[in-house]
Structure 1
Amino acid sequence: MTKRKVGYIWRLRDIMAAQRVFTATELVPLLRDRGIELSASQVHRLVSGTPERLSLQVMAALCDILGCTPADLVTATAENAGVRKTAGGDLPAPAGVAKLRPRAARILPDA
């Protein structure tokens, strides 16, 4: 079974620009009108970065403000993860490797 690497693309800034909302500070009162109390710096982080967590209330408010759907704001990505090879790979160990064990050191007293 192939492992998959999943992620997402946060498209808030693109959707804002399409709706002619160009700054994060423009969103603060619009969010407040919908019962979402976020500081200007919190809204700036939403706009300029990619959030790891987002409440559905905030998502619904953003969709209402911008006239879009959650699918417009978040684009899911998925790709096959590369298979990591181990140092030994799938090859059997060469003959005699089991005999290559370190020997215990002996400490001799000073003469």
Structure 2
Amino acid sequence: MIKKMGYQWLLRRLMAEREMYQTSDLVPLLAERGITLSREQVYRLVTHPPQRLSMDTLVALCDILSCSPNDLIKPEVVNAQLRKTADETAGPVSLTARRTVVRRPGQNPS
């Protein structure tokens, strides 16, 4: 089975923990580190998980927030098989091998 990976982008949470509540607060801090992004680009960076991110921007964010890339990005499996139960809650499916016995018509069960 192929494992499909995703991630949680935790930039907004880390900013809030450091009392940075305006996305525009990052614009001058990034510029000090040679990263020139518009206010709109920074807003998208904070509010939406980026599909692509330059290493320079990642390193600048880590420096600004005094964190590591592991603090900003939390990997997660996104294609776990789920099964709905009678009460409509979803839970992980337990996949275990079971031995199957094939019985032909007229054959006595053992």
Cross-structure match for 1:34: 33
With over 3 angstroms needed to count, the CA separation of the structure-2 counterparts of 1:80 and 1:51, relative to structure 1, is: closer
Cross-structure match for 1:18: 17
Instruction: Describe the SS at the equivalent of 1:8.
Output: strand
Instruction: Describe the SS at the equivalent of 1:4.
Output: coil
Instruction: Read off the aligned partner of 1:64 and give its amino acid letter.
Output: D
Work out which of the two has the higher radius of gyration on C-alpha atoms and give 1 or 2. 1
Deviation at 1:25, TM superposition (A): 0.5
1:43 to 2:30 alignment: no
Deviation at 1:3, TM superposition (A): 2.2
Cross-structure match for 1:89: none
With over 3 angstroms needed to count, the CA separation of the structure-2 counterparts of 1:79 and 1:53, relative to structure 1, is: closer
Query: Superposition pairs for residues 96-111 of structure 1, below 5 Å?
Result: none
1:26-85 superposed Cα distances (whole Å, 9 cap, x missing partner): 000000001000000000000111110000000000000001000000000125544xxx
Q: 1:3, 1:81 within 8 Å by CA — same for their partners in 2?
A: no
Give, in whole Å, the separation in 2 of the partners of 1:28 and 1:80.
Answer: 35
Please, what TM-score do these two structures have when normalized by structure 1? 0.69
Moved >4 Å (runs of 4+): none
Of residues 2-11 and 26-35 in structure 1, the stretch that sits farther from structure 2 once superposed is: 2-11
Across the aligned residues of Structure 1 and Structure 2, the Cα RMSD in angstroms comes to 1.6
Cross-structure match for 2:53: 54
With over 3 angstroms needed to count, the CA separation of the structure-2 counterparts of 1:80 and 1:49, relative to structure 1, is: closer
**Equivalent residue pairs, number:** 82
